[in-house]
Amino acid sequence: MISLRELARLAAEHADDLDRPVAPVRIGGRTRDTDRRPVLMGVVNLSRDSNYRESIAVSTESAVRKGRVLAAHGADLVDVGAESSRAAAVAVDVEGQKRLLLPVVEALAGDGIAVSVESYDASVVKAGLEAGACVVNLTGSQDDDTMFALAAEHGATVVLCHVLGPHVRALDGSDVDTDPVPRMLEQFGTRIERARELGVTGLVIDPGLGFGFRLHDQRARARYQSVTLLHSFRLRRLGVPVCHALPHAFDVFEDQFRSAEGFFAVLAHLGGAGMYRAHEVPLVRSVLDALVTFGVDH
């Protein structure tokens, strides 16, 4: 349940975490204080298996156009992925991912647009960074050392997703906890420490609410996501910004599902998030700008 009473209880129980500062993050040559102005990550999907149809690009030209439109609508960063994270999605081999990704990354980076490559494969990440990406959206953890070394070499920021395994489709759903934060603090903490040891200076953490657990009741899934968004501020003790891929909750919003990201952005903002991965960039940007204008804070 979400109520003023419950929010007050949450804030009182974890009061020490409310005002913890987080490090600025470097995106495309600019250093950003995400508490002053949140970073908005737009999405371009190159896989037809992606569940958000409006974000799917059917060609390189389509992907580049979508990326440019996202940037024009207020995205600070465009996240490009060549393989869907859905459990039933078809795997795309490494060469296939590169073939799809690299022309898009090169074109957008050539336009001066900050680009993130979403992948769990080191060779794909390496090629994406060489093509001009400045952020790695790391959706796996089995090759952390290699990924961190690549990011350090290219001066790239890393978004660490809460994926403990090779990739999101390999997860078994065991990450559904009544309170997932303690485990995340431990696991993210270990990975952050190792990334810094290997020279990574820009880090963001993503609790992975869009994947990693299997709740077959979609309304229950949306409720779990909503509550967890509000608990995000407890992760700020790690000292880095928190990123959320905003849910869609189709079973709740139905034909108005494109408005869902605006609703969840409010909860994430109240929870202290600093980066938002969104498909509906104009909507989410306007909501975030309004929250900042009205002084709504976590």
State if pTM tops 0.85: yes
Whole-angstrom Cα distance, residue 132 to residue 126?
Answer: 10
**What's the pLDDT at 144?**
95
Whole-angstrom Cα distance, residue 164 to residue 141?
Answer: 6
For 19-77, the pLDDT digits (tens) are 899 999 999 889 999 999 999 999 999 877 677 777 788 999 999 999 999 999 999 99
DSSP state letters, 216-242: SSHHHHHHHHHHHHHTGGGGGGGSS-B
**What's the pLDDT at 80?**
96
For 244-257, the pLDDT digits (tens) are 999 989 899 999 99
Per-run averaged pLDDT (10 residues), the chain, 298 residues: 90 94 94 95 85 82 96 97 66 86 97 96 96 96 95 98 69 63 93 98 88 65 88 96 93 93 96 96 96 88
- CB contact at 8 A, 82 and 97: yes
Whole-angstrom Cα distance, residue 81 to residue 101?
Answer: 7
**What's the pLDDT at 53?**
72
**What's the pLDDT at 221?**
82
Whether CATH 3.40.50.2300 fits 38-293: no
**What's the pLDDT at 9?**
95
**What's the pLDDT at 270?**
95
Q: Largest alpha-carbon pair distance within the chain?
A: 53
Q: Tell me the backbone φ, ψ of residue 14, rounded to 5 degrees.
A: -120, 40
**What's the pLDDT at 33?**
96
Spans of all domains in the chain? 38-293
Whole-angstrom Cα distance, residue 6 to residue 8?
Answer: 5
